């Protein structure tokens, strides 16, 4: 499978090995840059041309520290996703609690064994906890993150892109790196959007700090630059845009300037209440919302479902789907 014909990818070469088949599944092509550009990954759609299903969530906090995460909910979500066998799993950061601790990554690998056994493709974004414990020198934490996802050729990059099927481009960003105009990540981000394949109908941005969320929570760094960019450009794009953040340990949904903004931080971290003011669309009545988002891409429609787990052990059926939404491709 050829890489998308965008300027900075033309010198990429496809790489596919048995090791990569084990991690990504043999329907994936990895395109690695030869000129200091972040990698691009391609995940092929089903050969029967059926709908594409993938999931995304964040703030899993894989760790053995019981006070910072609900391990019961975290494991339940992992197992449920494995049963759905999505084409890809996108993780919006805070995969572990302390990025300097290799034991936290060992917990991640142990608890997601069902994913690796099913050869599910996992694509992570960096969160602030990936850097916890490293202080000014981030390299040890980054090494732990890169090593956890070998043989994905992420090193030395902190952001990258994925095509899922022929109509969805995913940009996975690093919220702890600059996103202001002129910064390396922002320049790359703008080039990816400007040179998206003509067949691309949807662009999904996955990053840790959500650009739009309940304003009671302070900003992380430059994430609002993403909302500013789409406020100016989204309506002139050929593609519809969905932005998924995490960081706030709850679920929220907004619409701004034709863009769907989601907060999906219910992967297991200690819950944080949400006020659901300022145009929040789901209006959920539950304060604790362990969950993931299931997306179904079918021709010109991208539908999303919030899959919620109730951690109360007395609950007979802990699974509900309390929020649904749909994004239609532009004509």
Domains of the chain: 7-328 (3.60.21.10)
How do residues 49-84 score in pLDDT, each as one tens digit? 789 999 999 999 999 999 999 999 999 999 999 999
What's the predicted TM-score (pTM) here?
0.91
Assess contact for 259 and 232: CB atoms under 8 A: no
How do residues 264-283 score in pLDDT, each as one tens digit? 999 999 999 999 988 999 99
pLDDT at site 312? 84
Using 50 as the pLDDT threshold, list the residues of the chain that sit under it: 1-27, 32-34
pLDDT at site 238? 95
The residue whose two tokens read 């702890």 is 176
pLDDT at site 36? 84
pLDDT at site 31? 58
What is the C-alpha end-to-end distance of the chain, expressed in Å? 27
Exposed / middle / buried, residue 44 (Cβ in 10 Å: 0-12, 13-18, 19+): middle
The residue whose two tokens read 């034991």 is 103
Tokens describing residue 11: 């010198």
Going from the C-alpha of 326 to that of each of 69, 202, 238, 294, the distances in angstroms are 31, 12, 17, 12
């Amino acid at each position: 499978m050829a890489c998308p014909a965008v300027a900075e990818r033309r010198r990429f070469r496809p790489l596919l090995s048995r090791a990569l088949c084990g991690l990504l599944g043999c329907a994936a092509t990895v395109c690695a840059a030869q000129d200091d550009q972040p990698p691009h990954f391609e995940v092929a759609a089903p050969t029967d041309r059926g709908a594409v299903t993938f999931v995304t969530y964040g703030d899993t906090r894989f760790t053995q520290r019981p006070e910072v995460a609900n391990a019961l909910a975290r494991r339940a979500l992992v197992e449920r996703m494995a049963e759905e066998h999505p084409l890809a799993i996108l993780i919006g950061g805070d995969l572990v609690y302390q990025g300097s601790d290799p034991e936290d990554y060992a917990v991640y690998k142990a608890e997601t064994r069902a994913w690796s056994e099913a050869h599910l493709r996992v694509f992570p974004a960096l969160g602030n906890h990936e850097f916890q414990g490293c202080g000014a020198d981030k390299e040890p934490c980054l090494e732990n993150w890169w090593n956890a996802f070998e043989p994905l050729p992420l090193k030395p990059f902190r952001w990258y892109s994925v095509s899922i099927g022929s109509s969805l481009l995913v940009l996975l960003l690093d919220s702890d790196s600059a996103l202001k105009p002129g910064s390396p990540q922002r320049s790359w981000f703008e080039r990816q959007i400007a040179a998206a394949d003509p067949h691309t109908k949807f662009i999904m941005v996955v990053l840790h700090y959500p650009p739009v969320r309940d304003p009671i929570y302070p900003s992380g760094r430059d994430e609002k630059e993403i909302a500013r960019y789409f406020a100016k450009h989204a309506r002139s794009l050929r593609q519809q845009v969905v932005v998924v953040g995490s960081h706030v340990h709850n679920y929220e949904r907004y619409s701004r300037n034709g863009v769907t903004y989601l907060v999906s931080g219910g992967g297991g971290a200690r819950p944080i209440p949400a006020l659901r003011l300022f145009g929040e669309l789901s209006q959920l009545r539950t304060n604790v919302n362990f969950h993931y988002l299931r997306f179904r891409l079918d021709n010109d429609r991208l539908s999303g479902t919030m899959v919620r787990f109730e951690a109360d052990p007395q609950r007979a059926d802990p699974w509900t789907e309390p929020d649904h939404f749909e994004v239609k491709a532009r004509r």
